Structure 1
Amino acid sequence: MIPSALKNNLFHKKLLLLTALGTALLALRVYWTQSIDFTFLLWNLFLALVPLFLSKQFLFNVQVQKSRALRIVILFLWVLFLPNSPYIITDFVHLDSARPTFWLDLLLFFVFSLNGLILGVLSMMDVFSYLRKRNHPVLANAILLFVSLLSGYGIFLGRFLRFNSWDIVTKPLVLAESLFNSLFLVDAWLWIFGFGSFIWVSFWALKPFLRGHGTLTVSNPKV
C-alpha cells in the first residue's frame, strides 16, 4: 500500500503537471497568434486556488483551529471565493470556431477548466469533512448543497453581471442592489439550479477518485 504522504505528493505533482500543460498550451498560443487574448486564464486559475488555500487553513493553521471567530471568517471567505474554481468552465464562451486556433483553444480551455474544477472539489472535500466531524451527515450534505447553489449564483453574477468576489468590499451598495434585482431574473435561477447542480454532482462524482489527497483532518473545535 502507498503511504498517504507519498500518495498526496504524487497527486500534487499531477496537479502541477496539469497546470504546466495548460501554461505550455497558452504560451504556444501566444507565440502562434502574437496575442495575449487568453492570458486571463492564468489569473482565473490563481483565483481557483484561493478556495483550496482557505480550506487548508483548517488543516494547517493552528490559530484557525483554536479560534471560532477565525473559523467563521475563513468559512465565509471560502463560500465567497468558491465560485472562482468552477467559473473557468464558463470561459468556453470565448471559443470561436472561425479562428484557425480553434482546436488548440478548445484543448486550452479544457485543461484550465478541468484544473479549476478539481481544485474546487478538493476544497469542497476539506470543508465537507470538517462539517461531518461536527454535524449530522444529513446536515453536512444539506449545507454543501446550499453552498453549491450559491456558487451557481456566484458564477452567474461573475459571468453576466461582471462582479468579482471582492466587490462585496469595494462596491457593497451596487452589489446589494444588483443582487436584489437579479432575484427577479429567470436566468439567475436557471444558473443557481443548473450550474449549482453541476457543481454538486461534480463533487460527488470526483470525490471517490480524489479521496485521501489532502482531505481535512483537524481536531475537535466546533464552529
Structure 2
Amino acid sequence: MNSPTICLIEDETDLANLLADYLKASNFNVVVFNRGDEGYQWLQHNEPALILLDLMLPGMDGLQICRQQRQHSAVPIIMMTAKVEEIDRLLGLELGADDYMCKPLSAREVVARVKAVLRRTLAIAPTTEPAPQSIITLDEHSLSVCIADEPVVLTHVEFQLFALLHSQPGRIFSRQYILDNIYKDYRIVGDRTVDGHIKKLRKKLNEAKPQLELIRSVYGCGYKYEAP
C-alpha cells in the first residue's frame, strides 16, 4: 500500500525540514516547497493526500493557493500562520481549509492533525471502527444533546455553543467569532465567559460519555468539535 503524499509549502527552511522529518517518520511521503508559486505549480500536475500550507509565502501567498485549489480540488488543506489574529480573517473568508494551526508549532501535533484530517476525509482508514455520526443528535426544542441515546440537558447558551461547534466538525472557532455569534450583547462578556461556558459544557458531555472528547481546545486559537 502506497504511503500518502503530503505537500508541505513553508518558507521557514528549518521548520519545513523538521515537519518533513516527523511526517516521514510516520510513514508519509513529503514534498517540500519554500516558495508559494513553486508549490502551486507542482499542485497543478499532482494531487497529494493533503496540503500543509503556510499563510505568508514568497511568490504566492497561502490564501491565493487555497483559493485557487478550492476551485478545482477537494484535497484537504491545513493552513499554518504565525499571526493568531489572522485566524478570524481566515475563518471569515471561508476559503475551504480543513484546519488551521498557529505558530509556534509542535511537530507532533502537526502529525496528529494531519492524521485526524485524513481520517475525516477517508484518505486513511482508521485503525479502529469509528462510532457512527448518528451517535450525536441535537434537539433544539428541549435544549438537549443526545449521545448514544444518553440525553444531556443544556442551558440555552450551552446548546447554542455546542450547535455552533457541531455544525462544522474540525473547524476552529475563535473566541471572538463565538462572542459575535452566540452572545446577544457581546460587549458585556469576554473570553473568560466563553471559556467558562465551554468548561461547563464539557463537564456535562463528559458525565454522559467520559470516553469521548468532543470539544477540543486549540491553544491560542479557540475551540473545535471533533466528531466521534
TM-score, normalised relative to structure 2: 0.30
Decide which structure has greater strand share: 2
Decide which structure has greater helix share: 1
